[in-house]
Structure 1
Amino acid sequence: MPWTLPSRPSRRSLLAGAAGAAGAALLTGCSDAGSPGTDTGIPLERRMREAAVRDSARLLERYDATAAAHPALAARLAPLRAAVAAHTAAFSLTPSDAPSPSASASPSGGTGAAAPAPSAEPVPPKPADALTALADTERSLSEARTIDLAGAPGELARMLASVAACGAVHAYLLTSPPTPTPGAAL
């Protein structure tokens, strides 16, 4: 008996088509191609790098605000802030750029990016709460960068992964008690 085309679609083909349409709608909804003010002529990697620079610059601003509000924390925050400044500089480089020796020397990380919008969230008045708030900011940014890995091109994905891991370590260090330096009086 020869096979004939059914007169109506099967339930399986309808479900498969609906799933495909839903998947396409989700992908379209997740992209920023239809967002107002988005220039789709800008390559994905460049847009992702620019967003990473902005995020890192805002994080630097949080470190600076916390150190200014709690000068006793400045020495503890300095190495973490320096790492964030280095991340900002690294994200601002394209793969063909050569790093400059002064890239992380300036307060803004030397990225040349526009100054970030001032943080709307004030620094908590207690030093322990300020460290917790900074750790929460680091943790949130680390999680966001981990999510961004899925859509990032190769080298940028590796950098995002490294910086996300560093942010998770920063969050841990900010919420753990400081360890005394060898030879320091207890």
Structure 2
Amino acid sequence: MPWTLPVRPSRRSLLAGAAGAAGAALLTGCTGDGAASGADTGVPLERRMREGAVRDSARLLERYDATAAAHPGLSERLAPLRAAVAAHATALAFAEPAGGGRSPSASASAPAPAPSGASAAARDAVAPQPAEALSALADAERSLSQARTIALAGAPGELARMLASVAACGAVHAYLLTSNSGAAS
């Protein structure tokens, strides 16, 4: 039976996500001196946040690749989720514009390891049972989603909107990875 997406998330999951976003906004603090933390690095905040988000996405892609390599039977199920994570990395990346300065661009190329690019160490870290491997991958998606939700409170406008979308997508991925429809046998 082919795996299909649920029609829509439950009201409980939407309320939990909204509560999490509100809580993250309340938990972020001020530096007290009016300066943004890390402002003395000379690198603009948005650029640092984007580069960190791309690195996080690249690590998540490695986990997808390692899971697919360790459990080839899961490859078809993981492929659309992995593709979305790669698209997120691309959307979050900075591109070098023609003028020489750096600016965000949705058409930027981001590191997206090839599906066979999982390192030996990453493959060894994958749980031996497919269901456990999916659960671990869901935990990684959930953790990154929560981190991005917290980070969006300090992000500049457009980046905050993008982080919110990517965090929501990660939460959906975690749900899909742990749902019974299409579950590994």
Which of the five TM-score ranges fits, normalised by the shorter chain?
Answer: 0.5 to 0.7
Aligned match for 1:131, one of 134, 140, 152? 134
Alignment TM-score, normalising by the size of structure 2: 0.67
2-structure distance, mates of 1:134, 1:98: 26
Pairs within 5 Å for 1:160-175:
160-175=163-178
Matches of 2:91 and 2:155, distance apart in 1: 15
- Larger Rg over CA atoms: 1
| Aligned equivalent of 1:178 | 181
How many pairs were matched up? Answer: 144
What SS is found at the alignment partner of 1:123? coil
Unaligned runs of 5+ in 1: 1-22, 34-38, 110-115, 181-186
Give the superposed CA RMSD: 3.3
Structure 1 residues 74-113: aligned runs within 5 Å: 74-93=75-94, 97=105, 99=107, 103=109, 107=113
1:31 to 11, 34, 37: 37
Q: Which residue of 2 aligns with 1:55?
A: 56
The one-letter amino acid paired with 1:176 is S
Which runs of structure 2 are paired with 1:59-78 in the superposition (5 Å)?
59-78=60-79
Structure 1: distance between partners of 2:48 and 2:86: 19
Deviation at 1:177, TM superposition (A): 1.4
What SS is found at the alignment partner of 1:31? coil
* Displacement after TM superposition at 1:99 (Å): 1.3
Residues 82 and 104 in structure 1, CA contact (< 8 A), matched pair in contact too: no
Shift of 1:150: 1.0
After superposition, the C-alpha distances for 1:89-115 in whole angstroms (9 at most, x for unaligned) are: 011135553616xx5896369xxxxxx
Amino acid at match of 1:143: Q
Unmatched runs of 5 consecutive residues or more in structure 2: 1-29, 96-102
Distance 1:96 1:52, change over 3 A: closer
TM-score (norm 1): 0.67
Using CA pairs below 8 Å that are at least 6 residues apart, which structure has the higher relative contact order?
2
C-alpha separation between the residues in 2 aligned to 1:144 and 1:98? 21
Structure-1 separation of matches of 2:88 and 2:67: 19
The answer to whether the aligner puts 1:159 opposite 2:157 as a matched pair is no
